[in-house]
Chains A and B, each alone.
Chain A
Amino acid sequence: MRAAASPAGVRVRVWDLPTRLAHWAIVTLFALCWWSAESGHMRWHLLSGYALLGVVWFRIAWGFCGSETSRFRNFVRGPRATAHYVRKLLRGERDGAAAPLGHNPLGALSILAMLTLLVLQTSFGMFAVDIDGYASGPLSRWVSFHTGRVFAHLHAFNFNLLLVLVALHLSAITYYRVVRKERLVPAMIHGRKDSRSMLPAPYFAPWWQAALLAAGIFACVALVVHLR
């Protein structure tokens, strides 16, 4: 291990594997959902949609029972703390040694907004009625044709909101890279950061906990999809 006094700080483990996998799965599946909807490959659209539905719920559950840096409790902050952080950010101040390792308060907002819209997007899709090829969502049987069309329109509208959030997310990452010289993307890949934090190492949940949770959630998704 390098000396704790080095200017860049020490290499510490920040993101656990389930969180990173969930993140990149969301990115990939989102792209797949988008492409398949655009090109009319509705079978792929529904399959990637179900997978995304599962991953999103997994990430939400992991935010309550996963590793410390993944838990909402540890990074979601109130408006006052967030405003304070934004002022510091604008003044160009860096995080002190007391700053927590995980997401900053702005990242937290972005995560909450994206997870919420993804839950809405996938839920609308489940009830959407399609008129161009009959790839209606698996729960559309429980709503009328008209209601199913309303869901399809909400699904299309909410997608635009998601695109806006994705654009914001990418610009924030670019800002941190260019202005603050912080490389957030590699950290989300290998899970480590240079940190000056003096706080004790965070708690990491065992991998089998993630595996059990994922298995449970995907079983539920399969059940809902086959609900007739």
Chain B
Amino acid sequence: MRFRPPRRLTRPMHALAISALLAVSAGAHAGTASLQQIVHARQEHFHMLGRTAKSLRDQIVRSHPDWTVVSDDAHRLQQLAAQLPSWFPAGSGQGHGVKTRARALIWRDPRAFARAAHALFSRARDLSRAAATHDRRTMLLEFRALGHACGSCHSRFRAHGSWW
């Protein structure tokens, strides 16, 4: 696969996030100072995931989507999903003195977490394939499946906010 630098990676914030991530994957374990950076970078990645998914959704709910945007977004989702497990180095979850919603369960049951991440990847791949057909109905269905992949991982591995 040819690597195209994603359009939205050019913003300084994201460059920062990526370099933090690279720094993390280079050194195996991190101290508290960089722990903050890891978590920050992870949240930036998730925001990018969210923005991309929203951008795609905003197209397919229209009667005449811009299919170029749709297929770019679908590919980017697939790339991000493939990277997702690397955003969770050991020791970067709750209970390490850093503000995060990543539950310790992620590292206690790594196989289940990997499965949840892979489910997202598969749904993103289906979405990319469906994008080629230019069929809105299929896309909406695939997109709902993608949403379930986000939601079911969050309900298990992301701590809930205390909105009450």
Residues of A bordering B, CB below 8 Å:
40, 129, 131-136, 140-141, 144-146, 148-149, 156-157, 159-160, 163, 228
Contact = CB atoms under 8 A, between A and B. Distances in A.
Contacts of B50: 129, 131, 145, 149
Is chain B's interface secondary structure helix, strand, loop, or mixed overall?
A: helix
Interface string B33-75: 0000000000000010011011101100111000000000000
Contacts of A132: 150-151, 154-155
A159 B146 contact: no
A145 B47 contact: yes
B147 interface: yes
Given A129-B54, A134-B144, 15 more contacts: A129-B50, A131-B50, A131-B154, A132-B150, A132-B151, A133-B147, A133-B151, A140-B54, A140-B58, A141-B58, A145-B54, A146-B47, A156-B161, A160-B163, A228-B63
A157 B163 CA distance: 7
A136 B54 contact: yes
A159 B150 contact: no
A135 B61 contact: no
A134 B61 contact: no
Given A157-B163, A228-B61, A134 B51 contact: no
